[in-house]
A and B are shown apart, each in its own frame.
Chain A
């Protein structure tokens, strides 16, 4: 009997492995952003892995900093400073345009509530990335003890980074704008044309696509797209990116455009999570 069982060991192992995979798909399959929260033991184990990742990240950053001594460290620092300055000015410009437009609308709409500059921000540090070439996830570690919830917006000075997917301890996974699962409701800052930004999963250029732009809407290259505030996840007037190209269609109701995100996701180290409004 045992011999007969032994001859089927390979099949049993294969069956067990396939059953485990099917169980994982059955438990987590088809869940959207923010719907896949780990259980308490799961969160504990995931936090353990995140601490390992944090330690390895710190060690690698230390090695990188040591190697910088022998390379063009001044140039790197100068480049970094200028990049931050450009991000700040871009954000300032976008905010100014948004405020001007808001003022114009406020004259028409009595009681319109001002929502800018009133966010509660929790700083966090990027400690790891996904290891899949097709999905775009960052792991961040909070610097404060703010309570994070799924779907909270994550931003930097340059614009929108993404939204929180999973939280565990002081860590969280963030789905980037360029992840194929990401959908963000946007409007053009110039023409107020409305669309939905969908990630394409591209790694090098992080391009995304703007769908549901009406054919008659005048969208052109260089248009800055900002969050519309619809959907209740992202506050309005946060920069998402600029239009890279527009594809006009002869038929159908909508046109499509490619969007270049305003944030270079490969270079961000510190982010802010919008935990609420003041």
Chain B
């Protein structure tokens, strides 16, 4: 799948989650789709291409996540860079290993949010929210990675069959 389509896929996933949460009234944890996209792009795209896609996804993630003052960007970039360090050791085929590794590395997101919120907005006490919501949030992330990873794998295979993502075509 070309980088621009990966970006469209990411924006569609994030807006779909926010619309789904509004339509169902389900708020506990959510799916953390912004973090999920950082894991998917970090694990399934070459580092340079992935960095470009992440850079373009930062603003939509920042707007739709509702997290103030660039903190969501700090969190998702921390997760993306962490996934980049283990990318070459992961099996190529998307499966439970990637979901587990992605979920564990996704726990850097609340940590990064907590650290940066403490520095940037010390009066906003989010420690309790992070303690209460991180575990359901990471469970939601695992669900997103399983479903979103499978969707992205299917789209990638579609493009590979048509030759659009042949080696060297996009990266």
Contacts and interface: CB of A to CB of B under 8 A. Distances in A.
Interface of A: 9-10, 13-14, 16-18, 20-21, 24-31, 36, 45-46, 49, 52-54, 56-57, 59-61, 64, 126-139, 173, 180-181, 198, 200-204, 265-267
A50 to B, nearest CB: 9
Interface stretch (B28-36, B88-96, B145-153, B154-162): B28-36
B68 interface: yes
B33 A131 contact: yes
Interface string B108-147: 0010010010001100111011101110110010000000
Contacts of A20: 55, 58, 73
B75 to A, nearest CB: 9
Contacts of B67: 130, 132, 134-135
A21 B74 contact: yes
Contacts of B81: 14, 17
B48 A9 contact: yes
A245 B113 CA distance: 29
A24 B70 contact: yes
A131 B55 contact: no
B170 to A, nearest CB: 15
B30 A133 contact: yes
B97 interface: no
B129 A49 contact: no
B48 A10 contact: yes
20 contacts: A9-B48, A17-B77, A18-B77, A25-B71, A28-B69, A29-B121, A45-B59, A46-B63, A53-B19, A127-B19, A128-B15, A129-B18, A129-B21, A131-B30, A133-B30, A180-B126, A200-B128, A201-B128, A201-B130, A201-B132
A89 B61 CA distance: 40
A52 B25 CA distance: 19
Nearest to A63: B23
B163 interface: no
Contacts of B34: 131-132
Query: 5 shortest A-B CB distances, which residue pairs?
Result: A201-B129, A130-B66, A137-B66, A24-B70, A25-B70
Give the interface size class of chain B: 35 or more
B21 A131 contact: yes
B110 A134 contact: yes
B64 interface: yes
Contact of A131 (B14, B25, B70, B134): B14
A30 B132 contact: no
Given A53-B15, A130-B18, A36 B69 contact: yes
Contact of A133 (B51, B55, B121, B137): B137
A56 B47 contact: no
A127 B24 CA distance: 11
A139 B63 CA distance: 11
Given A31-B69, A53-B15, A180-B124, A203 B29 contact: yes
B120 A30 contact: yes
B169 interface: no
Contacts of A45: 59
A135 B68 contact: yes
Contacts of A204: 27-28
A57 to B, nearest CB: 4
A181 B17 contact: no
A131 B74 CA distance: 15
B74 to A, nearest CB: 6
Given A29-B70, A53-B18, A201-B128, A21 B77 contact: yes
A278 B2 CA distance: 55
B16 interface: yes
